[in-house]
Structure 1
């Protein structure tokens, strides 16, 4: 276009040199004007172009000299890496997956039916092992017993031993005797045997220490580490000397199932013992007897919740003579007994796990007081969960 314009101007103005020089100057002016106009109208474009070139330069340096020596048509290093990653993803996507086994869906009615069958089978076999198998061992091999249910045989046999039944002392009798002992300032103790005390007494006498540790993992919390034969014997001695001994009425193996084997093992006569309920403390509280028992008396509170329990007692107008807390297991019994000697009191409430049996009996026999193994009822009263 420039040539055409130049030719036209040359032809039109006679083609002299002055005209050509003028055209060249105008051309330079137009170029400079165009560049200035572009820079003025878009001042950021120049900066962007510079930044883009600098970025490209940085990328080229980071890719290394290998990209600069690529053969014509070869992919740059960055493209090859992307391609490689894409191939790996594709291979992973196409890799065969292990089938997930489907869990069978069992209808609720089938589950209930299976549970019913298992219960029926267990009951039938348990009944045989616990009754019919024993009866079968008494029948001569060449004889059979007519169709008499094992329950009937047991009932007939029970009639032969019915006269040996020993009634448990009721809470009202205990309350009346305690009030009389307080009035006459005579010693009296009430201790209670739960599964913790029974297992502690049983270890290496009726049951092995290993079995007791498995059946009673709570024993360290209750105050004794098994085996401990020294305090096992002290516990048995306190049970032998206590005025009243509460025992469980449940016939399960770790409750009443241990009572008679233990009493035989330690040579204790059931006929000579005054046995009551292991829950007699709750019975007395439900009848309001404990509150009547402590009114007008000086009470010593012993145990880990002694502070909280004493606050509740004081709110009911009970005079708290002192507190002994905490009681850290059977090894702490000697210290507690020494401290109990320094107080003036009539009645002692002891809530200290297994050590409470020994403490209640010794406070009564050595210091001439009335003492109760109060148990977890202390926690319930302290937390206002159970009324006094």
Structure 2
């Protein structure tokens, strides 16, 4: 049996294409999810074959919202990979080692994404284009650790924020799905919650038949603007949340 060639990165969706797909899903009132598989996600999906990857990621573990066992996180991520409508992947031109590791993981899972984009699709878009005009046309829910800060800025920019839902760990995932499912009159959920965001996007889209986007650090960029500094954000969070 011939092995798949895994050339999915040759046909990445462009940001504007993804935005158009989201617009169409909103107009048609159909569920749609985008889940991104970055360094953390690929590290957990590599377990237990490559235990050193999760060990190396351990310094970010709690910040990334991981409180459950590696086995549970891997199973949840594998399900998200299978259920997401669009999969965000690490591409060779950005991080060659991690792009190769992504392919290794996909081969181990016997998975080939039918539709994918760059894992940093929204961050790249924000660096090039003003996203606020697009967001102003949406009724959004914000999900994540910094949703209160984000809500203030979104309102200031004229975006209709229907509700906000805080989440800090994967243990809260099912509760968040239930909360969001009970909220009416929204169109797009922007989820910035580390690894739980990857897991949540397809779960919320399936439960609500609406659009759920793993938005990642794009929310931090909208909050912090030109002052966005991921390393500094992580250090400040650790200082305030991890006991010595």
Flag whether TM exceeds 0.5 (same fold). yes
What is the CA-CA distance between 1:386 and the residue it aligns to?
7.2
What is the CA-CA distance between 1:164 and the residue it aligns to?
8.7
**Residue of structure 1 equivalent to 2:110:** 267
CA distance in 1, matches of 2:20, 2:8: 26
CA distance in 2, matches of 1:286, 1:180: 24
Say whether residues 1:248 and 2:95 are aligned partners. Answer: no
RMSD of the alignment, in Å? 2.3
CA distance in 1, matches of 2:171, 2:87: 23
SS in 2 for 1:220: coil
- Give the direction of change, closer, same or farther, for the CA distance of 1:192–1:164 in structure 2 (3 Å limit): closer
**Residue of structure 2 equivalent to 1:237:** 79
Say whether residues 1:354 and 2:224 are aligned partners. Answer: no
Q: Is there any run of 5+ residues in structure 2 with no aligned partner, and where?
A: 229-244
What is the CA-CA distance between 1:268 and the residue it aligns to?
0.7
Q: Is there any run of 5+ residues in structure 1 with no aligned partner, and where?
A: 1-160
CA distance in 1, matches of 2:68, 2:205: 27
SS in 2 for 1:296: coil
**Residue of structure 1 equivalent to 2:35:** 191
Say whether residues 1:320 and 2:178 are aligned partners. Answer: no
- Give the direction of change, closer, same or farther, for the CA distance of 1:257–1:299 in structure 2 (3 Å limit): same
When normalised by structure 1's length, the TM-score is: 0.53
Greater relative CO, 1 or 2 (CA 8 Å, sep 6+) = 2
Moved more, 286-295 or 186-195: 286-295
What is the CA-CA distance between 1:369 and the residue it aligns to?
0.9
Say whether residues 1:257 and 2:100 are aligned partners. Answer: yes
- Give the direction of change, closer, same or farther, for the CA distance of 1:213–1:164 in structure 2 (3 Å limit): closer
Q: How many residues align?
A: 220
Higher-Rg member (1/2): 1
Superposition pairs of residues 60-75 of structure 1, within 5 angstroms: none
What is the CA-CA distance between 1:380 and the residue it aligns to?
2.2
In structure 1, which of residues 200, 203, 210 is the aligned counterpart of residue 44 of structure 2? Answer: 200
Superposition pairs of residues 299-378 of structure 1, within 5 angstroms: 299-325=140-166, 327-344=167-184, 345-378=186-219
In structure 2, which of residues 112, 135, 144 is the aligned counterpart of residue 294 of structure 1? Answer: 135
What is the CA-CA distance between 1:211 and the residue it aligns to?
4.7
Moved more, 339-348 or 210-219: 210-219
Contact 1:188 1:369 in 2 (8 A): yes
Moved more, 183-192 or 226-235: 226-235
**Residue of structure 1 equivalent to 2:61:** 219
Q: Deviations over 1:328-349 (max 9, x none)?
A: 2111101111111221211101
CA distance in 1, matches of 2:66, 2:194: 9
Contact 2:192 2:214 in 1 (8 A): yes
Contact 1:191 1:373 in 2 (8 A): yes
Bigger fraction of residues in strand: 2
Q: Deviations over 1:177-205 (max 9, x none)?
A: 1111111111111111111111011111x
CA distance in 1, matches of 2:10, 2:137: 35
When normalised by structure 2's length, the TM-score is: 0.82
**Residue of structure 2 equivalent to 1:181:** 25
Contact 1:175 1:289 in 2 (8 A): no
